Amino acid sequence: NWTTGNVIEEQVAAIREQVGDRRAICGLSGGVDSAVAAALVQKAIGSQLTCVYVDHGLMRKGETEQVEKDFVAATGVQLKVVDAEDRFLSALKGVADPEEKRKIIGREFIRVFEQAQAEIIADEGPAVEFLVQGTLYPDVVESGGGTGTANIKSHHNVGGLPEDLEFQLIEPLRKLFKDEVRMVGQELGLPEEIVQRQPFPGPGLGIRIVGDVTKERLDLLREADAIAREELTAAGLDRDIWQCPVVLLADVRSVGVQGDGRTYGHPIVLRPVSSEDAMTADWSRLPYDVLAKISTRITNEVADVNRVVLDVTSKPPGTIEWE
Ligand code: XMP
Q: What is the pLDDT of residues 11-51, one digit of tens each?
A: 999 999 999 999 999 999 999 999 999 999 999 999 999 99
By C-alpha distance, which of 270, 302, 299 is closest to 287? 270
Q: What is the 3-state secondary structure (H, E, C) of 58-88?
A: CCCCCHHHHHHHHHHHHHCCEEEEEECHHHH
In the predicted structure, residue 321 carries a pLDDT above the cut 80: yes
What distances in angstroms separate CA 179 from CA 33, 226, 309, one per listed residue? 11, 25, 32
Confidence of residue 141 (pLDDT cuts 50, 70, 90): confident
Distance 321 CA to ligand 1 centre (A): 6
Whose alpha carbon is nearest atom 10 of ligand 1? Answer: 201
What lies within 8 Å, CB to CB, of 112 at 6+ separation is 54, 56, 82, 84, 87
**How far away, in angstroms, is 199 Cα from ligand 1 center?**
8
Residue with the smallest CA separation from ligand 1 atom 18 is 201
- Closest protein CA for atom 21 of ligand 1: 201
What is the rounded distance in angstroms from the CA atom of residue 38 to the CA atom of residue 50? 9
All CATH 3.30.300.10 domain ranges of the chain, comma separated, are: 208-310
131 vs 143, residue with greater confidence:
131
For atom 14 of ligand 1, which residue has the closest CA? 201
Q: Which residues define the annotated binding site for ATP?
A: 29-35
* pLDDT tens, residue by residue, 150-191: 554 433 333 444 455 678 999 999 999 999 999 999 999 999
Distance CA 204, CA 60 (A): 8
What is the structure's pLDDT at 127? 86
By most ligand atoms within 8 Å of CB, the mutation choice from 142, 210, 283, 320 for ligand 1 is 320
pLDDT at 156: 36
Residues carrying CATH 3.40.50.620, the chain: 4-195
Atom of ligand 1 nearest to the CA of 202: 15
* pLDDT per residue as tens digits for the range 233-281: 999 999 999 999 999 999 999 999 988 899 999 999 999 999 999 999 9
Residue 145 has pLDDT above 80, yes or no: no
Task: Please give the distance, rounded to the nearest whole angstrom, from the Cα atom of residue 223 to the centre of ligand 1.
Answer: 21
Cα 201 to middle of ligand 1, angstroms = 5
257 alpha carbon – ligand 1 mean position (Å) = 35
More confident residue, 145 or 203: 203
d(CA 254, CA 305): 9
| Binding-site residues, ligand 1, Cβ < 6 A | 102, 199, 201-203, 243, 278, 315, 319-321
What average pLDDT does the segment 79-100 reach? 98
Q: Please compute the mean of the pLDDT values over residues 72-76 and round it to a whole number.
A: 97
- Which residues contribute to the annotated binding site? 29-35
Query: pLDDT value at position 1?
Result: 78
pLDDT tops 70 at residue 85: yes
Question: Which atom of ligand 1 is found nearest the CA of 322?
Answer: 2
> How many whole angstroms separate alpha carbon 22 and alpha carbon 149?
16
Q: Which atom of ligand 1 is nearest to the CA of 199?
A: 24
Average predicted confidence (pLDDT) for the chain? 93
Q: Does domain 4-195 have CATH number 3.40.50.620?
A: yes
CATH numeric code, 208-310 = 3.30.300.10
Q: Distance from the CA of 66 to the center of ligand 1, in angstroms?
A: 22
User: β-pairing, 261-270 with 305-310?
Assistant: parallel
Mutational test site, ligand 1, from 197, 321, 322, max ligand atoms within 8 Å of CB: 321
